[in-house]
């Protein structure tokens, strides 16, 4: 099979690798489309601390079942040819955190395309338990966005946001855009966002959200005008820079929620005395639970949630070029690498 393999920092090679055989409890999937995630851009530049040369990247995908392991129970639509996606976060299922319902925090967790070869290839092997069959849904192809949508659902679920509340999302990249979409679907009354890129901002405005200036002084003034000086009920930092984390902390109203999702900077200084005095709840959001992933598959497939950003479809062979373009600032919200597909914008 053909696979995009990290040869060294800043360099992929398209290689011919043996097609893997599924183990007894695994399924072999023929990849239809594999999304490029922002975390993989950091892996490409050698700054994420996880991905290493020799690895096949990719953890967001849509495909069809090519072979089923000997011990995999059939049923639920699982059969050769079925359209599927899969939860790429692999946890042990036995440790205390897994048993407490937080497998995304499992100390032994592994990520498809991070710890083991991923889906930037013609075929990928995944545990049968991680599979989600999508053929019964109205729009199976939309489930290619399940992984980032699950991240957004998890982040919103960690806050106390309710219909009629106000929310601000800092950054309208793929995760920020999907957080806006989840908030829209949940009936948030006043929905605002910041984004430097005009093309991405247009996609965010399609959710009904209002764009505010990303300049910190002007942003603070506009927020206070719109909230009678109190601040926002819930602020989501989908960037992760020191400046955005500080804004999230300071623009949340007393008693509100500041949710930190972005991972751009390793560290940041926050005004802890002020946060304590205003009783702001600060929560970090990492990945998602299996229930979040299942909910994302269903919501996308039914059309309850929609990925509204610009999507570029490109051949797997163009992966190197698209990683470079995204790092150079291309406005696409998501690039889907497709074995044998021609480049297209949808």
CA distance 49 to 43: 7
Q: Tell me which of 284, 313, 336 is where a domain ends.
A: 284
For residues 296 and 146, the answer to whether their CB atoms sit within 8 Å is yes
Number of domains observed in the structure of the chain: 2
Q: Tell me which of 248, 268, 284 is where a domain ends.
A: 284
Percent of the chain that is helix, strand, coil (3-state, to 5):
30, 30, 40
- What residues make up the domain containing 112? 2-149+288-345
Q: In the prediction, which pLDDT does 340 show? A: 61
CA distance 120 to 118: 6
The predicted-structure confidence for 179-224, as pLDDT tens digits, reads as follows: 999 999 999 999 999 999 999 999 999 999 999 998 989 999 999 9
For residues 101 and 116, the answer to whether their CB atoms sit within 8 Å is no
Q: What is the pTM of this model?
A: 0.95
Burial class of residue 312, CB neighbours in 10 A (0-12, 13-18, 19+):
buried
Residues 91 and 26 in one domain: yes
Q: In the prediction, which pLDDT does 339 show? A: 84
CATH of the domain at 335: 3.90.180.10
CA distance 207 to 196: 17
Distances (CA, A) of 160 to 156, 186, 273: 8, 12, 22
Main-chain dihedrals φ then ψ at residue 315, nearest 5 degrees: -65, 150
Residues 314 and 277 in one domain: no
The predicted-structure confidence for 240-281, as pLDDT tens digits, reads as follows: 999 999 999 999 999 999 999 999 888 999 999 999 999 999
What DSSP line would sit under 151-191, residue for residue?
Answer: HHHHHHHTS---TT-EEEEE--SHHHHHHHHHHHHTT-SEE
The predicted-structure confidence for 296-323, as pLDDT tens digits, reads as follows: 999 999 999 999 999 999 999 999 999 9
Q: What percent of the chain has pLDDT over 90?
A: 94
Burial class of residue 202, CB neighbours in 10 A (0-12, 13-18, 19+):
middle
Q: What is the DSSP letter of 62?
A: E
Residues 6+ apart with CB under 8 A from 99: none
Nearest to 69 by CA among 31, 30, 131, 27: 27
Q: Tell me which of 239, 258, 284 is where a domain ends.
A: 284
Residues 81 and 130 in one domain: yes
Does residue 154 belong to any structural domain of this protein? no
* Residues listed for the chain: 346
CA distance 148 to 307: 10
Residues 117 and 169 in one domain: no
Question: Please, what is the average pLDDT of the chain?
Answer: 95
Residues 6+ apart with CB under 8 A from 158: 257, 259, 283, 285
pLDDT (mean) for 211-239: 96
Residues 24 and 145 in one domain: yes
For residue 344 the two structure tokens come to 């297209």
Q: In the prediction, which pLDDT does 343 show? A: 38
Does residue 202 belong to any structural domain of this protein? yes
Q: What is the DSSP letter of 120?
A: S
The predicted-structure confidence for 155-186, as pLDDT tens digits, reads as follows: 999 999 999 999 999 999 999 999 999 999 99
Residues 240 and 296 in one domain: no
pLDDT at 294 over 60: yes
For residues 145 and 300, the answer to whether their CB atoms sit within 8 Å is yes
Residues 82 and 213 in one domain: no
Residues 140 and 242 in one domain: no
Residues 6+ apart with CB under 8 A from 230: 224, 253, 254
- Scan for tokens 């495909």, then name that residue: 63
Q: What percent of the chain has pLDDT over 70?
A: 98
Does residue 263 belong to any structural domain of this protein? yes
Burial class of residue 41, CB neighbours in 10 A (0-12, 13-18, 19+):
middle
pLDDT at 74 over 90: no
Does residue 295 belong to any structural domain of this protein? yes
For residue 129 the two structure tokens come to 């338990």
State the pLDDT confidence band at 118, using cuts at 50, 70 and 90: very high
State the pLDDT confidence band at 93, using cuts at 50, 70 and 90: very high
Nearest to 194 by CA among 177, 217, 211, 179: 211
């Amino acid at each position: 099979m053909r696979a995009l393999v990290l040869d060294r920092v800043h360099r992929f090679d398209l290689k011919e690798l043996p097609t893997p055989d599924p183990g007894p409890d695994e399924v072999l999937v023929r990849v239809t489309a594999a999304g490029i995630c922002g975390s993989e851009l950091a892996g490409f530049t050698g700054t994420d601390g996880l991905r290493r040369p020799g690895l096949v990247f990719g953890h967001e995908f849509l495909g069809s079942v090519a072979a089923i392991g000997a011990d995999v129970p059939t049923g639920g639509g699982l059969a050769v040819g079925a359209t599927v996606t899969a939860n790429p976060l692999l946890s042990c299922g036995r440790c205390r955190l897994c048993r407490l319902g937080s497998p995304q925090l499992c100390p032994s967790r592994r990520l498809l395309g991070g710890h083991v070869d991923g889906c930037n290839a013609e075929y990928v092997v995944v545990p049968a338990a991680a599979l989600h069959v999508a053929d019964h849904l109205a729009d199976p192809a939309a489930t290619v966005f399940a992984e980032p949508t699950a991240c957004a659902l998890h982040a919103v679920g960690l806050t106390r946001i309710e219909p009629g509340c106000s929310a601000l999302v800092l950054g309208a990249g793929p995760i920020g855009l999907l957080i806006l979409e989840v908030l829209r679907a949940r009936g948030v009354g006043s929905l605002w966002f910041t984004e430097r890129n005009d093309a991405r901002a247009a996609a965010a405005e399609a959710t009904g959200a209002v764009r505010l200036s990303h300049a910190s002084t002007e942003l603070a003034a506009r927020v206070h005008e719109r909230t009678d000086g109190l601040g926002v009920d819930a602020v989501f930092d989908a960037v992760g820079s020191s400046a955005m984390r500080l804004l999230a902390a300071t623009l949340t109203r007393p008693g509100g929620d500041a949710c930190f999702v972005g991972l751009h900077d390793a560290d940041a200084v926050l005004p802890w005395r002020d946060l304590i005095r205003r009783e702001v709840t600060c929560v970090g959001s990492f990945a998602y639970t299996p229930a979040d992933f299942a909910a994302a598959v269903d919501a996308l497939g039914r059309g309850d949630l929609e990925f509204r950003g610009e999507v570029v479809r490109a051949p797997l062979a163009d992966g190197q070029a698209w990683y470079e373009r995204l790092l150079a600032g291309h406005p696409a919200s998501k690039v889907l690498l497709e074995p044998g597909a021609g480049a297209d914008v949808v």
